[in-house]
Amino acid sequence: RVTTTSAAHSVTESDRKHVFHSWSAQSQIAPAEVVSAQGSHFELADGSRYLDFSSQLVNVNIGYQHPKLVAAIQEQAGRLLTVSPAFANDARSEAARLIAELAPGDLDSVFFTNGGAEATENAMRMARLHTGRQKVLTTYRSYHGATAGAIAATGEPRRWASEPSVPGIVHFWGPYLYRSAFHATSEEEECARALQHLRDTIMVEGAATVAAVMLETVVGTNGVLVPPAGYLAGVREICDEHGIVLIADEVMAGFGRCGEWFAVDRWGVTPDLICFAKGVNSGYVPLGGVVISAEIASTFADRPYPGGLTYSGHPLACASAVASIGIFKEEGILEHVRGVEETVLRPGLEAIADRHPSVGEVRGVGFMYAVELVRSRRTREPLVPFNASGPAAKPMAEFVAACKENGLWPFVHFNRTHVVPPCTTTAAEMRQGLEMLDAALDVADRHTTD
């Protein structure tokens, strides 16, 4: 444990006095103290232990304290800890080479950042400079990070408090059949209408003013919205037609989460830029980045790229990415995700949906699933209203409490619980977690009105 100057300074006391937490009213929170973690579980100071169905913030893809990853970080720490971005360095070169090798098409260069928001910021900057255009189109149901440009690009309510914000962002509707913005009744219809809506948006915005379309390949926090067959290929086609850069934000969906290195691989689509972070090294050391197509990289061949970070390509972070990618390959983690999804996760969630009237829909891919909770399956009225907080969000709070009582740490957002455990979660742990989820859903069922 971290040495404190006096035993009187308890962790939670100092936390409440001195730590300013994200997204929170500081007097209304009581952060639980994590003392240890291993594999798919973590333990709190009060001795309670949880199976983690959230992977913290959907980043611990390799599980907690993977011994080989810990050893690689220790080895790099003993050798060379910090080198400015202007130098070359073995850990950075190797991380970039491996990521470029895994990325589709000619996405062969990597700009490293410390996390996801800096990745989307820089991707948008690259697209604007490459095209000489200003606007970036993103979907309403999206999260792209919390820095000025990234929060402007974000479509969901966390953007509101930062408005009016950076100009040049235009939001549109992506596909989401269960709550279709297009009154569609089939995946095919949803796909065709969502593509037409994007075409129309570009038409009225003026194609010559649009630098980029930025999409989460699979929308993460805002619903686990898996694109219907043909949607991403359709967006690629529209972008090509107008010389618009396609940015895939895979900060959450990449590096195993969807059972692929990059989620776009599932649909065989090659974007111009891919943003990554989280799963690239499971957040053991902060790292993110942008993988860049040859064409966009060539824009900056003889013209300086006007962007940088003191810790871009930090050796400790890069060494952990190299080790993590190696472990994924050695241990067949992508294959493991696909196998457990097929045999345990999807059938398990479908059975849960059959048993619980509060489950409106289950959907997802890999180890990235959402269970959407409703008051009524008939009307699809959500269990709690959009962006609910306080008393209005009580049914979800009760569900969360029930999960925790059962030993499960859930990920919830609005009226959904997401099933996003570490990609190393075993079939037996997944079954256990689904049983705990199943039991907790009885609490949500009490709020149904059908």
Cβ(409)–Cβ(50) below 8 Å: yes
Question: Whole-number minimum distance, CB 145 to ligand PLP, in Å?
Answer: 4
Helix, strand, coil shares of the chain, percent, nearest 5, are 45, 20, 40
CB closer to ligand PLP, 210 vs 290: 290
223/395 with CB nearer ligand PLP: 223
Calculate the alpha carbon distances from 410 to 128, 147, 357 in Å.
38, 26, 19
Residue with nearest beta carbon to ligand PLP: 116
Q: Are the CB atoms for 371 and 362 separated by under 8 Å?
A: yes
Nearest distance from C-beta of residue 262 to ligand PLP, angstroms: 13
Residue closest to 126 by CA, chosen among 210, 245, 209, 232: 245
| Dist CA 56 CA 65 (whole Å) | 13
- Other Cβ atoms closer than 10 A to 39: 18
**Pick 220 or 395: Cβ nearer ligand PLP:** 220
Residues 369-378 as b or e (16 or more Cβ within 10 Å = b): bbbbbbbbbe
Alpha helices in 307-345 (DSSP H): 315-330, 333-340
Token output for 362: 């289950």
Minimal distance, residue 286 CB to ligand PLP, in Å: 8
Q: Among residues 66 and 257, whose Cβ is nearest to ligand PLP?
A: 257
User: CB of 222: closest distance to ligand PLP in angstroms?
Assistant: 9
Give the nearer residue to ligand PLP in terms of CB position, either 145 or 433: 145
Q: Tell me, what amino acid is at 119?
A: A
In the complex, which residues of this chain contact ligand PLP (CB under 6 A)?
57, 115-117, 120, 143-145, 216, 220-221, 249, 251-252, 277, 288
Closer of 117 and 340 to ligand PLP (Cβ): 117
CB of 277 to ligand PLP, least distance (A): 5
Q: Is 211 within 8 Å of 128 (Cβ atoms)?
A: yes
Instruction: Report how far residue 185's alpha carbon sits from residue 90's, in angstroms, rounded to the nearest whole number.
Output: 53
- Residue 96 or residue 225: which is nearer to ligand PLP going by CB? 225
Minimum distance from CB of 22 to ligand PLP (Å)?
A: 9
Question: Cβ neighbours of residue 13 under 8 Å, at least 6 residues apart?
Answer: none
Whole-number minimum distance, CB 266 to ligand PLP, in Å? 16
